[in-house]
Chain A
Amino acid sequence: MLTMNNLSKVYRTHLVETHALREFSIHVEEGEFVAVTGPSGSGKTTFMNIAGLLEEHTGGSYELDGIEVSGLSDRRRSAIRNEKLGFIFQGFNLIPDLNLFDNVDVPLRYRGFNASERRRRIESALEQVGLASRRRHFPAELSGGQQQRVAIARALAGEPRILLADEPTGNLDSAMARAVMEILEGINAAGTTIIMVTHDPELAARARRNVHIIDGQVTDLSSSFAGTPVGAAVASA
């Protein structure tokens, strides 16, 4: 599903060169729930950005769902993000001037679905997170947990192959965080691959596999997934 091999990411200014990821190799199988942990500045967000095609890597290779994404055009990367990936952000990133229905509709419009197909998917996604009755409400009228559920619905509506969650519970209290985590577990149980960056060891422990990043490198892997360990997968790739 997702394979990065000897991937690197270097940020350059005229004064400084920062190696955010170095010789970064990872393989994620379809259906996995991977928690990515690591201290601040370790490269977690850079990994998520590159995995989500939000940034380009500097070196190495990255294959997503059978497509080598290195050197793809911006338009093609946008299309892949739209069709294969779903995003959940720490700050929810809902559009404040759109109601819940229209917020979930945003990626579907870019996908080019017709109105009835979009309506079906939006209603189904909002139903799935328990917010169908509030579809005409605006984000400011919801609690943080509800807003994150809308963001999950937005990510789910496009039926992505991989859900990328960047600190999805970072702005929530523990009760809301647990509720969101339960929804994510349910989604994963239904077959969607999830990669989740988190600082919370309790949440990380609930994932089926843990990846630890330090100084831009995968330094510690613990796996409870019944598949091939990451290091072995990379080695055999």
Chain B
Amino acid sequence: MEIRPILSTVLRNPVGLILIGLQVALTLAIVVNALYIIDERLANLRIEAGVDEEHILTLNSAGFASDFETTLATIHRDLDYLRKRPGVVSAMATNTLPLTQSGWSTEVEAQEALDGRSIDTAIYFADETLVETLGLDLIAGRAFREAEVEPYSMDQELRSTAVIVSAAAALALYPEIDRPEQALGRLVWNGAENDRFSAEIVGIVDGVKAPWKGLSSDIFDHVVYVPKVPVIANFGIYAVRSEPGAFADLLQNIQPELAELDTQRVVMEPNAFPEIRERFLRGDRAMAGMLITVVVLLLLVNILGIVGLVSFWVTQRTRQIGTRRALGATRGNILAYFLVENALISAMGVAVGIVAALALNNWLVSAFGVDRLPWAFLVGGAAGLLVLGIAAACVPALRAAAIPPAIATRSV
């Protein structure tokens, strides 16, 4: 294989090297990072909230009368209606649900001291029907007891005696345990430095998600349920789980029914959990779609660039190709020449592209909290671009291989 003379030719004509090399380098840098982000976003589309997504809806209400205030009695009346309504499995008052992109979070500690192990976590309010209402996977411990559930208003501390935590939160809070069940009975600490309080972990649930994804922390998997009923100003939020087959009926009729119970407030259109999920994924879907378009366009430009430049070289070197054929080159030799030449240029571009891809990734990590690019993406992207470059060069290279040796004696 005549690599050295080909390399010598390439280096004596640096314009082609610079054009194709830079094009390949830029394409690699952008495509590899874009593919990684696409992969992450597409993985998001497969996220499960950890609740019975197909049968849950939320109902929000807000009093409009100036003297209207949501009370514990109001909430009990609403829940009593909802729980007895045909087609409803269970219902509870809460502050928010997974994937709603709105909610509460705090930092909790594994010990009384503030300077020890701590995690960021989402806080959900729940009552004794939590597991049944949301269809959670309780892998250890128990649900809340009715006696543990207390009303909560905004002027109170968020104190409770018991909490239910997600398995991921338990493992993060107590790195020394092997299985999340081992966190049962341990204390979770919260509060200001001079006013610390704790709650015992009474249950572990698996797979439940926070309302949002954190940019740089693992908060998405960290969930702590507190046994509280939110009694906050004039608002009310209910999670309702339907029986199979009754979801459409609930979705259509539950709002006017609940509104009839109290004419001093507005009950909003119910939010079906699949819609909540769809809204949560909209950004990921749009980003993945946009990046896929960018990647396809970049690769197309890359292919067209290579086809164009190699075609130009073939035309420019027609006489030279004929001469090589006259001197004994087979069609395969000519084909190989152009493919090797393109592979060498692409390889140089890929080498620069790898550095550029890492630099771009570093910037994305620091600016947008994107994860570090795995080596597999870099290696796969580099190999893919090389193969694509060679494949793109095939068309003009085959045209070169078809040039007859008699061209050597013609004036072209």
User: Are A and B genuine complex partners?
Assistant: yes
A binding-site residues for B, Cβ under 8 Å: 45, 48-49, 52-55, 74-75, 78-79, 81-83, 87, 89-91, 93, 95, 97-99, 102, 105-107, 109-111, 154, 158, 166
Considering only residues 1-45 of chain B, those with a C-beta below 8 Å from chain A are 2, 5, 8-9, 12-13
The number of chain B residues with a CB under 8 A from chain A is: 25
Q: How far is the CA of A233 from the CA of B5 in the complex (A)?
A: 45
Q: How far is the CA of A93 from the CA of B326 in the complex (A)?
A: 10
Docked-complex contact B323 and A54, CB < 8 angstroms: no
Cβ-neighbour of B404 out of A54, A87, A91, A106 (below 8 A): A54
Is there a chain A Cβ closer than 8 Å to B140's Cβ? no
Docked-complex contact A79 and B408, CB < 8 angstroms: no
Question: B107 CB to closest chain A CB, in angstroms?
Answer: 66
Docked-complex contact B330 and A78, CB < 8 angstroms: yes
What is the 8 Å Cβ interface bit string for chain B, positions 395-412, against chain A (1 contact, 0 not)? 000000000111011010
Q: Tell me which residues across on chain A come within 8 A of B411, comparing CB atoms.
A: 91
Considering only residues 361-412 of chain B, those with a C-beta below 8 Å from chain A are 404-406, 408-409, 411
Q: State the main secondary structure of chain A at its contact with B.
A: helix
Q: State the main secondary structure of chain B at its contact with A.
A: helix
Q: How far is the CA of A91 from the CA of B224 in the complex (A)?
A: 85
For A167, the closest partner residue in chain B by CB is B409
Docked-complex contact A52 and B326, CB < 8 angstroms: yes
Q: Tell me which residues across on chain A come within 8 A of B171, comparing CB atoms.
A: none
What is the 8 Å Cβ interface bit string for chain B, positions 174-214, against chain A (1 contact, 0 not)? 00000000000000000000000000000000000000000
Interface Cβ pair total, 8 Å cutoff = 82
Cβ-neighbour of A98 out of B8, B408, B409 (below 8 A): B8
Docked-complex contact B327 and A154, CB < 8 angstroms: yes
For A154, the closest partner residue in chain B by CB is B327
Cβ-neighbour of B12 out of A97, A105, A166 (below 8 A): A97
Name which of B12, B319, B320, B330 has the most chain A CB atoms within 10 A of its CB.
B330
Docked-complex contact A110 and B8, CB < 8 angstroms: no
9 closest cross-chain pairs (CB), A and B? A82-B328, A107-B327, A110-B328, A97-B9, A54-B406, A93-B323, A54-B405, A78-B330, A55-B406
Question: A22 CB to closest chain B CB, in angstroms?
Answer: 19
Docked-complex contact A54 and B408, CB < 8 angstroms: yes
